[in-house]
Structures are given as structure tokens and as C-alpha cells.
Amino acid sequence: MRMLVVEDNEDLAETIVDRLRAEGHSVDRESDGAEASALLRHASFDLVLLDVNLPGRSGYEVLRAMRARDDDTPVIILTARSQIDDRVIGLDAGADDYMIKPVDFRELSARCRVLARRRAGTATNVFTAGSLSFDRRGKRALIDGADAGLKAREIQLLEIMIDNLGRMLSKEEVADRLYTFDETPSLNAVEQLFTRLRRKLDGTPLVIKTARGLGYLAYVSDED
């Protein structure tokens, strides 16, 4: 993956960059917000790690500028502040995820991988995770090459969960995305849909986790 790390602290930046390079990614680094913004205008990356407190422009401003340009590169915000507002501001500004410093690198890697998968799915229209392969355009899911036998609604649900890989969606949020304006969503039906989908995906590394009372979360389990 091509990654951009924007961090003004030299030591921290060095460790992150080295770590990511060790994992096989090609990583660029900026230490100033304005320069990072300029770079992002010309070059494209698969993932951006963005610190909030930057000289030049703040991380939020860089992020907002990106989104205003319709640049939907996945961004993980790194913040040392833990006020509630910061989190909300970050997500509102368009961040895909945020982490609080000091960062656990394993966790950082895991999150990067999740975002990469999300992105990979939309960019190439084919999402793969181990034995599972999902063709967005064709609306077909293959397990080990063979058709998984998913019904239309199940395909829709699979697409929604892959688009929100690593993020928890409540039953209501799923229903919102699943049903159109004039269909009446039934939360019971959603529940049954998940059960059926999970059964059909059994054996693939794509796990759809249920947090009872909270919602559903999809993740790929082979990197644990």
C-alpha cells in the first residue's frame, strides 16, 4: 500500500514509518500540514495517517480540504487529545478512524489493514478475503471459486458490511441502508438475514460479529 504519514514529532514519525515499511508498505512522510495538503493535491495514496497538532495547517483542516476536493482516501486521525469533541470533530471532518496516542502499533497495523480492505473493495470492485471473493459489479459472491448461493438481499447486506468493514452498524443503521424509501424495514427480518448470511459465509475469513444490543461488525480474521 502507498501510505502517507503526517506527523511532526521526529521520533514518533520514525517509528511509525519504519514499522509500516517493515510490513511491506511504501510510506511517505510529511511534517507540516500545509505541505502535506499540497502533496495530497497531486499525489494519491491508499491511506493517510494524520496527526492533529501540526505546524502549518491543523490535521482537521487538511482532512476537510481533502474531502472538499472529493478525495475519499481513507484517513486515520492520530490525536493525543481525548476530549469527546475531538472525536466528533474528526469523524465529522471526514476521518475514517481515529486513534489516541500513544498508539499500539499492532492495533495501528490492524486498523490500517481494515481500511485498506475497505478501499480495495471499492476501487477494484472485487473484494477478496481468503476463500471469499465478492464481485460488486456482478453482485456475485464466490467461495473457493464456486457461487455462494446468496440471494439478492443477502448480497446487498454483504456489500453493506464490507463497505463498513471494522465499523459497528446498529440494526437500525443496517435497515436504513438495506431498505429503500417506501419499503417497510423489519428489524426481525434484518436479524434473520444476518443469521442466513453468516451461515453461508461459514469457513471464510470474513466474520460478521454480533454485539447483542449494539449492532453488527464485519472483520477479516486471518490477520489475528
Partner 1 sequence: MRTEPRLVSLQRRLLLAMAGGFALLLLIISVLLWSYARTAANRINDLPLAGAALAMLERASIGPEGPTIDLPNSAMDILALNTRDRVQYRVFSPTMGEITGTGDLPLPDGMDLSDVPRFYDATYLGAPFRFVIQGRRMNTPSGRDWIVVQVGQTVETRRHDQMSFYLSGMTGLAALSVIGLVCVWIAIRTALAPLRQIAGELRRRDPADLADIPGSPPREIRGLFTAINGFIARLRQNRALTETFIADVAHQTRTSLSALQGHLALAADATDYPEMKARVDKAGRQAARTVRLSNQLLANAMVIHRSDRASLQPLSLCPLVRDTLADLLRDSRMRRIALSFEDEALAPEGDRIRGDALSIREALNNLVENAARHGPADNSILVALENTPGRVVLRVEDAGPGIAEADLARATERFTSLAAATRGSGLGLSIVQAVAEGHDAVLRLSRSRLGGLCAELSFPRLAALMAVLLCWGAGEVPAARAEALSLFSATDAAAMEPLIAAFEARNPGIEVAFTEFHTVDLYKRLRAAAPGTMPDVVISSAMDLQVDLVNRGLARRLALPATHRPPDWAQWRGELFGFTFEPAAVIYDTRFLGAHDLPSNHRDLAQFIRDNEARLTGRIGSYDLRSSGIGYLYATQDSLQGPQAQRLIEVLGRARVRTYCCTADMFAATARGELALAHNVIGSYAATLARGAPHVGLHFFDDYNLVMTRTAFVPRDARAPDLGARFVEFLLSPAGQEVIAAHTPLIPLAPERHPDLPIARRIAERPGAFLAIRLSPSLLTYLDRLKQRDFLRAWDASVLR
**Which residues sit at the interface with partner 1, rule CB under 8 A?**
83-84, 87, 97, 102, 104, 106-107, 110-111, 114, 166-168, 170, 207, 209, 211-215, 217, 219, 221, 224
Taking the complex as a whole, the smallest distance from the CB of residue 211 to partner 1 amounts, in Å, to 5
Q: Are strands 97-100 and 126-129 parallel, antiparallel or unpaired?
A: unpaired
Distance CA(123)–CA(216), nearest Å, equals: 24
Using the minimum distance from each CB to partner 1, give the nearer residue, 56 or 130.
130
- Output the 3-class SS for 155-169: HHHHHHHHHCCCCEE
Rounded (10°) angle between helices 187-201 and 171-178 = 90
Contact 31, 13 (CB under 8 A): yes
Using the minimum distance from each CB to partner 1, give the nearer residue, 30 or 97.
97
Taking the complex as a whole, the smallest distance from the CB of residue 38 to partner 1 amounts, in Å, to 31
Taking the complex as a whole, the smallest distance from the CB of residue 170 to partner 1 amounts, in Å, to 8
Using the minimum distance from each CB to partner 1, give the nearer residue, 60 or 219.
219
Taking the complex as a whole, the smallest distance from the CB of residue 210 to partner 1 amounts, in Å, to 8
Distance CA(133)–CA(142), nearest Å, equals: 5
Q: How far apart are the first and last CA of the chain?
A: 19
Using the minimum distance from each CB to partner 1, give the nearer residue, 58 or 170.
170
